[in-house]
Structure 1
Amino acid sequence: MKRASPPVDQPHTADRPNMTTNTERLELRRRRMAQSPPILRGGFRPFFLGAGAWALIALTIWLAFLFGWDSARLIDDPVAWHRHEMLFGFAGAAIAGFALTAVPNWTGRLPIAGGALAGLFGLWLMGRIVPLTTAGHPVASALLDGGFQILLAFLLGREIVRSGNRNVPVVAIIAAFGIASTLDRLEMGGVVDVGAIGWRGGLALVAVLIALIGGRIVPSFTRNWLASQGCEGRLPAQADRFDLAIMVLGGMALLSWLALPGSLSSGWLLLGAGIGHALRLARWQGWRCASNALVAILHMGYGWLSAGLMLLGLAAFDLVTETLAVHALTTGAIATMILAVMTRATLGHTGRPLMASGITKLSYVLITVAAVARVLAGLAIAPSHALMAVAGAAWCAAFTLFLLEYGPMLWSPRLDEHKVART
């Protein structure tokens, strides 16, 4: 009896249109996936693993500098390096893993896998390593770092265009993110002076991406879970004109922050956008799914987006520091949403039940502690270094737990592959 081919991380749906060349490409991708080691059978695998590892490594380097180690021998500007690596390194890897997994679902095409995926991940990894070496010339570092995101956008855009899918804005955001990364690297190296538009633009783009993708998955997953529990009453609806209006307001507020940072007009717009996102979140009824950690953490992450925008607005009125607001968006919204998506997607795409273990729940608690402690450190209500130590320790513990529990899942075949092999 002929042995069944082992399943891969995405269904074998047909590419469109049905031309001979596309059929050949489809078969080539199928062979690549079947012949590749498990770690290279889906973009979420290497990039989620890389994001978790870099979250731990990069913050450990930063904490070592913050608490007395002379890292000037390794990094010329530790503050700028920390900011860049958390945003474009850590978050950039997580975005790549999500996009490389989501686009095949959106388009019905097989994911990038095998050697092509390894090369893409290698480019991201070089963007982390080269700036720390003597070969890390600012221009070379910028081309590596930004080039990775731009190449990623090109590859994803090709898939979306060929399938006629509507998710072009996501690809445009990733391409713009690559440009922002390039500008930030060049400014870090003293090649150009663009007034911090690189890291500010990157942060604004990730905030928009959270609002866009979060606005789809948070109400959808909430609705699905509530329906599965037989909950009565009105369920969260899909996006409507209200959601579109909040998205537009949020985009205008962030553009104002980029063009006129610290202005009263940007302050009012950011406050309005933060309140709008809070109202949007309330419509998704997160309190009804508090018992499901995988869903509840998504609401928590989106709540940090709302809080971060409001704090950024208050910073324009000198009521809080901009650094405090930025960390509400980064340590709060970005890190929480990344951890939430990486854990849920890994469980689902490796054939495991969508249930949060005790370790996963503890990692959610720890990332929340890290965000709260880092924001409180900016309020000067307690010794800031003590709070930053708490935030750093909680952050490292959260991602250590992620790596310990989800690393083996990302490295190993799907559970149902083992079942097929035994039959």
Structure 2
Amino acid sequence: MAGKPLHAFWLFFPAAALWAALVVPLSMFAVLSGTGWPPGLIGAGHGHELVFGFALALIAGYTLGPQPWRILAPLFGLWLAARLSWLLAPDWLASQLLSPAFALLLARYVVPRFQAAKKWRNKVAGPLILALCLMALVYFLVRAGLPFPPASTLLHTAIIGLLLLMTFMGGRIIAPAVAGTLEKKGTPLEARVQPLIEGWLLAILPLAMVCILFTATEKLAGLLLLGASLLIIVRVARWKLWHCTDRPDLLVLALGYLWLAVGAAVTGVHLVTGHALLPALHLIAVGALGTLSCSVMLRLAWQRARRRFPPAWQVLAIAVLIALAGVCRYLAGPLPFSQPGLLWLAAGAWALTFSGVAVQLSLLYQRSVSRQPARNPVP
């Protein structure tokens, strides 16, 4: 049994969910308690951990597939060492090196998996993941003295990068699932992946990432994000999700996709009008990333362990709690610690969601090892 490959999501998804549940309330405690502990979550530290810790663990779990322990063990050990060292001693050189080391090793195993595709749109996931992994290295170089870009701007760019990756991969998950559901009902779906819209998104969002790096082009970045938001809304509307009312798991996935549109639109408005960017970016990092990541984690785990969709109460709880967290964090504004009530409400809803997901994933893993793996998981 020990020599058999393990699906990477059984290892990385529970760890990512648990880390997400811990990081946000601990970052608030570090500031509001006056202790400054843990030091790695002060200031932009929690943003670093949610992008280069949580999000990269999600990517590892979703893209690595079944792997032998000789690959999974070093990867996971490096990820865990990076998280704990950053949490406790972020100024140590070893702590700063471990995150880019994990990111680059992850890219080494993941990026080549996407190069066999023939169409350029199908190959693009590899470069997108590589770009996010390289940002962990650039973040280290910025802390080491690289004059440009500022660390905060780099994190903002990384969040737009996550928006791009979620837009691409989310569409590739939702479109075939909706098409399969509608075909069973005798309702054909012609607009599936929608390559024209996808192509425009793959052109607009990378350009927005570049523009957001420079003050002189921030308004152009805002306009690009507004255009991307409109394209995402059109794409969702063409999926005919009103025919899927018996599939709450798909509806919540689509809700997460619409959070991408909301986050892109509000971020675009803030850039164009000169308002503070941080509250708007949390609509992407909390609303979209939270809803989509929890939905995908549970979907994969339920398929593998039980050959069925996640129960309605689980996905609906995710939708409500993450929406509460996203809205409260946005309303807390650019000076969030002046609104501790809203912040604690957002942090509590977020932590409750991800701790529940971590527990559910652990229970499903126990179920999966007690029976033969499903041969035909639900598409």
Verify same fold: TM over 0.5.
yes
Whether contact under 8 Å (1:253, 1:273) holds in the other structure is no
- Mapping for residues 313-328 of structure 1, pairs under 5 Å: 313-318=268-273, 320-328=275-283
CA shift for structure 1 position 322: 0.7
CA shift for structure 1 position 52: 0.6
Aligned residues: 370
Question: Is residue 344 of structure 1 aligned with residue 299 of structure 2?
Answer: yes
Q: 1:386 to 1:294 in 2, by over 3 A?
A: same
Q: 1:419 to 1:274 in 2, by over 3 A?
A: closer
SS at the partner of 2:64? helix
Question: Is residue 203 of structure 1 aligned with residue 159 of structure 2?
Answer: yes
Q: 1:129 to 1:122 in 2, by over 3 A?
A: same
Q: 1:403 to 1:371 in 2, by over 3 A?
A: same
CA shift for structure 1 position 262: 6.4
Q: 1:58 to 1:357 in 2, by over 3 A?
A: same
Greater C-alpha Rg: 1
Question: Is residue 152 of structure 1 aligned with residue 112 of structure 2?
Answer: no
Looking at structure 1, the residues matched to 198 and 239 of structure 2 have their Cα atoms a distance apart, in angstroms, of: 11
1:264 to 208, 215, 219: 219
Looking at structure 2, the residues matched to 238 and 415 of structure 1 have their Cα atoms a distance apart, in angstroms, of: 37
Query: Residue 103 of structure 2 aligns to which amino acid in structure 1?
Result: Q
Which digits, 9 at most, give the CA deviation of each residue in 1:366-408, with x for residues without a partner?
A: 112211222232299xx83222221111111111211222222
CA shift for structure 1 position 56: 1.0
Query: Residue 30 of structure 2 aligns to which amino acid in structure 1?
Result: F
Question: Is residue 84 of structure 1 aligned with residue 39 of structure 2?
Answer: no
Looking at structure 2, the residues matched to 397 and 412 of structure 1 have their Cα atoms a distance apart, in angstroms, of: 23
Whether contact under 8 Å (1:43, 1:97) holds in the other structure is yes
Q: 1:412 to 1:117 in 2, by over 3 A?
A: farther
Consecutive unaligned residues of structure 1, counting only runs of 5 or more, are: 1-33, 102-110
In structure 2, the residue matched to 1:99 is 63
Q: 1:416 to 1:205 in 2, by over 3 A?
A: same
Looking at structure 2, the residues matched to 76 and 152 of structure 1 have their Cα atoms a distance apart, in angstroms, of: 22
Looking at structure 2, the residues matched to 202 and 411 of structure 1 have their Cα atoms a distance apart, in angstroms, of: 35
CA shift for structure 1 position 290: 3.7
Looking at structure 1, the residues matched to 311 and 146 of structure 2 have their Cα atoms a distance apart, in angstroms, of: 46
Question: Is residue 413 of structure 1 aligned with residue 368 of structure 2?
Answer: yes
Looking at structure 2, the residues matched to 51 and 42 of structure 1 have their Cα atoms a distance apart, in angstroms, of: 15
SS at the partner of 1:417? coil
- TM-score of the two chains, using structure 2 as the length reference: 0.87
Q: 1:51 to 1:250 in 2, by over 3 A?
A: same
Question: Is residue 57 of structure 1 aligned with residue 22 of structure 2?
Answer: yes
Query: Residue 110 of structure 2 aligns to which amino acid in structure 1?
Result: L
1:280 to 212, 229, 235: 235
Identity %: 25
CA shift for structure 1 position 77: 6.4
- TM-score of the two chains, using structure 1 as the length reference: 0.79
**Residue range with higher mean Cα deviation, 114-123 or 43-52:** 114-123
- Mapping for residues 304-319 of structure 1, pairs under 5 Å: 304-318=259-273
Over aligned residues, Cα RMSD in angstroms? 2.8
Consecutive unaligned residues of structure 2, counting only runs of 5 or more, are: none
Whether contact under 8 Å (1:177, 1:201) holds in the other structure is no
